[in-house]
Amino acid sequence: MTELIVVGPGELGRFFAGGALKRGTVVHPVPRGASIQDVTASEHAPVLVAVPEKALPEVARGLPPARRAHAIVVQNELFPPGLQQLGLAEATVAVVWLAKKAGQPVRVARASEAHGPHAADFVQWCAALDVPARELPDATALAAALIEKYAFILAINTLGLRDPITIGAWLDRDEAQVDAVIDDAARLGAALCGPGAPAGHDAKGPVKEAMRALSDYPAKGRTAADRLHKAWAEAEARGLDVPALRSVKNSLG
């Protein structure tokens, strides 16, 4: 019998749990506030952690040490140094390239990617849902994927702060500006990734592929300003020059 524990069964948690159920997996949901200690699943069962960024430290602390290597973490702003600090250095990391909102169909931006002990399980759940996904070969490929996803999130929100039009409208209007923002965001992502980051990784192709797939989406999200100010602080702390990001930040006053 195969099993899956889902911590934080929100939109993404329920979605991937559905793929596991289609594969005949027994799913154990752990709602917010409940303890994973009460779950009777095998200690080797994967633990899908699909919670908001702010909730991740608390969830990580609540994972028993024996389960941490079996965690599958779904995050947008998580890099190896952060995983290390959370005690999740051995966890599987899933880089998800789809939009899943309540009451709306799934929109796929690119093939999702995963690396770690349970990457093959994640890819199988995606296949059951007709969602493209692939297992990454090594930690360097994961670092590149994390940089690309970070650059995508930061770039679209930064552009949306400058002018809250759709992603596609930005590509049509000023692709050079889009490229400059992506380059800055990717360089910052590489700095956050640490020594494992691939040198000089060009994220523009993958990021713009995802942008075109979601071209009718608004560029600006609810947390856009917070994301840009956080990114700017990270860049300043590292002495990293990010002129395209700085220009947008300065325009906000």
CATH classification at residue 45 = 3.40.50.720
The pLDDT value given to residue 36: 86
Write down the mean pLDDT value for the chain. 92
Q: What is the tally of structural domains in the chain?
A: 2
Q: What is the pTM of this model?
A: 0.94
Residue 59 amino acid letter:
V
Q: Band the pLDDT of 252: cuts 50, 70, 90.
A: confident
Q: How far apart are CA 64 and CA 133, in angstroms?
A: 29
Ordered alpha helix ranges (H), the chain: 11-22, 56-62, 65-68, 80-85, 119-128, 139-162, 167-173, 175-193, 204-213, 224-237, 243-251
Judgement on whether residues 9 and 123 belong to the same structural domain of the protein: yes
Judgement on whether residues 212 and 224 belong to the same structural domain of the protein: yes
Q: What are the tens digits of pLDDT across the range 130-144?
A: 999 999 999 999 999
Q: How far apart are CA 200 and CA 202, in angstroms?
A: 6
Q: What are the tens digits of pLDDT across the range 156-196?
A: 999 999 999 999 999 999 999 999 999 999 999 999 999 88
Q: What separation in angstroms does the CA of 44 have from each of 28, 57, 158?
A: 13, 21, 41
Judgement on whether residues 160 and 219 belong to the same structural domain of the protein: yes
Residues 71, 47: contact at Cβ < 8 Å?
yes
Domain span at residue 175?
Answer: 139-251
Q: Band the pLDDT of 1: cuts 50, 70, 90.
A: low
Q: What are the tens digits of pLDDT across the range 208-250?
A: 999 999 999 999 888 899 999 999 999 999 999 999 999 998 8
